[in-house]
Amino acid sequence: SPMKNRITDIGPRKYSEFYPPFIAKNKGKWAYHEILEPGVLVHVGESGDKVYTVRCGTARLMSITLIREMCDIADKHCSGYLRFTTRSNVEFMVDSEDKLKALKSDLAARKFAGGSYKFPIGGTGAGITNIIHTQGWVHCHTPATDASGPVKAVMDEVFADFQQMRLPAPLRISLACCINMCGAVHCSDIGIVGIHRKPPMIDTDWVDQLCEIPLAVASCPTAAVRPTKIDRADGTKMNSIAIKNERCMYCGNCYTMCPALPISDKEGDGMAIMVGGKVSNRISMPKFSKVVVAYIPNEPPRWPSMTKVIKKIVEVYAANANKYERLGEWAERIGWERFFSLTGLKFTHHLIDDFRDPAYYTWRQSTQFKF
């Protein structure tokens, strides 16, 4: 048939083609799994097969050299297979205890010139796993903060909890560099979210050349953008845009549609901290994260004010929550007033929600508010 060799799907190949043989064999027939030690899991099949997994943190944005080294490790120990988790941990799997021992000591011996681990083992169970994050200043067009930079700074601060499981329950930290939140900030135990605090600037020289003005108008959720006409130097009129600043909630949607409305601003940009979200329905229903710090300025390269807040929240949670209680469950049990007094965070009017929908009122789950 003429259709026989037609390529109808040019996307990635089906994931099942990449299963290691022992995973393909036991798929859907696992009896149980357990964490043997931080970063090391065993899955036991109904057949009695055992698969040992070693989980390592990654930087998410990685050099080709480092990825090649991962491939070499996979070739050496794991018949050429490896996998990444949704939080950008890399996992190496082997099918015997002897292979596990050799893999672990090989990984632990690989270090950067400065002495830090290339492949730190950990990120399982009641600890802090890799921080899921977005693109930041490296790549995206609307970030209010960086992604990789603050994530590295936070991870350095809480690294001991990547390698151990002393916390009451898993603690998931996420970062999204703007309120589009292409990270998982809205449902994480601790979320760091980049926020703008000023309306976009209007680059009048370019508006009529770069933008479809009706599209820019339609993109604004608060109807702050409207078409207008301005004078050219020669006295003629040109189409442009006007923004009603008091309506703007600094979301950056209009900039996504119209590159002549840049929103990044050194003084206006920074980050908010959200806590208490989770996707698990263990003990209690899944929860959205809630804003607990309305604004922290960008302080590259090490973001000291933000990392101090995160560290404090982690330590207070570790010292006070009951076993198995996620951060949001603990805060709800003791009451948010006590959460603020124990963490020393200041409650400000920015944290009071102004949504009218009863599903949301009483506590702020959005960073879209006025400064």
User: Per residue in 155-164, is it b (16+ CB within 10 Å) or e — as a string?
Assistant: bebbbebbbb
Q: How far is the CB of 327 from ligand SF4 (least distance, A)?
A: 22
Does residue 251 belong to the site contacting ligand SF4 (CB under 6 A)?
A: yes
Q: How far is the CB of 194 from ligand SF4 (least distance, A)?
A: 7
Q: Which long-range contacts (CB under 8 A, 24 or more apart) does 313-316 make?
A: 313/190, 313/273, 313/275, 313/343, 313/345, 314/128, 314/158, 314/161, 314/167, 314/171, 314/190, 316/342, 316/343
Instruction: Give me 53's structure tokens.
Output: 């997994």
Does residue 178 belong to the site contacting ligand SF4 (CB under 6 A)?
A: yes
Does residue 174 belong to the site contacting ligand SF4 (CB under 6 A)?
A: no
Toward ligand SF4, which CB reaches closer, 180 or 320?
Answer: 180
Toward ligand SF4, which CB reaches closer, 164 or 256?
Answer: 256
Which one of 53, 58, 142, 343 is in contact with ligand SF4 (CB under 6 A)? 142
Identify the CA nearest to 288 among candidates 357, 364, 202, 219.
364
Toward ligand SF4, which CB reaches closer, 142 or 367?
Answer: 142
Binding map of ligand SF4 across residues 86-125, x = CB under 6 A, - = no contact: ----------------------------------------
Please choose, out of 138-146, 265-273, 318-326, 352-360, the segment that lies near ligand SF4 by the rule CB under 6 A. Answer: 138-146
Which residues within the stretch 329-368 sit at the binding site for ligand SF4 (CB under 6 A)? Answer: none
Does residue 298 belong to the site contacting ligand SF4 (CB under 6 A)?
A: no
Does residue 153 belong to the site contacting ligand SF4 (CB under 6 A)?
A: no
Which one of 243, 271, 331, 351 is in contact with ligand SF4 (CB under 6 A)? 243
Toward ligand SF4, which CB reaches closer, 193 or 345?
Answer: 193
Toward ligand SF4, which CB reaches closer, 134 or 343?
Answer: 134
Does residue 202 belong to the site contacting ligand SF4 (CB under 6 A)?
A: no
Does residue 143 belong to the site contacting ligand SF4 (CB under 6 A)?
A: yes
| Distant-in-sequence, close-in-space partners of 114: CB < 8 Å, separation ≥ 6 | none
Which one of 88, 148, 174, 219 is in contact with ligand SF4 (CB under 6 A)? 219
Does residue 248 belong to the site contacting ligand SF4 (CB under 6 A)?
A: yes
Cα–Cα dist 293/192, whole Å? 10
Toward ligand SF4, which CB reaches closer, 125 or 262?
Answer: 262
Toward ligand SF4, which CB reaches closer, 139 or 282?
Answer: 139
Which one of 73, 173, 225, 273 is in contact with ligand SF4 (CB under 6 A)? 225
Please choose, out of 3-11, 13-21, 177-185, 342-350, the segment that lies near ligand SF4 by the rule CB under 6 A. Answer: 177-185
Q: How far is the CB of 141 from ligand SF4 (least distance, A)?
A: 7
For ligand SF4, which residue has the nearest CB?
A: 140
Cα 359 to chain centroid, rounded: 25
Which one of 250, 288, 303, 317 is in contact with ligand SF4 (CB under 6 A)? 250
Does residue 182 belong to the site contacting ligand SF4 (CB under 6 A)?
A: yes
Identify the CA nearest to 157 among candidates 184, 190, 196.
190
Which parts of this chain interact with ligand SF4 (CB under 6 A)?
Answer: 134-135, 140, 142-143, 176-178, 180-182, 199-200, 219-220, 222, 224-225, 243, 248-254, 263
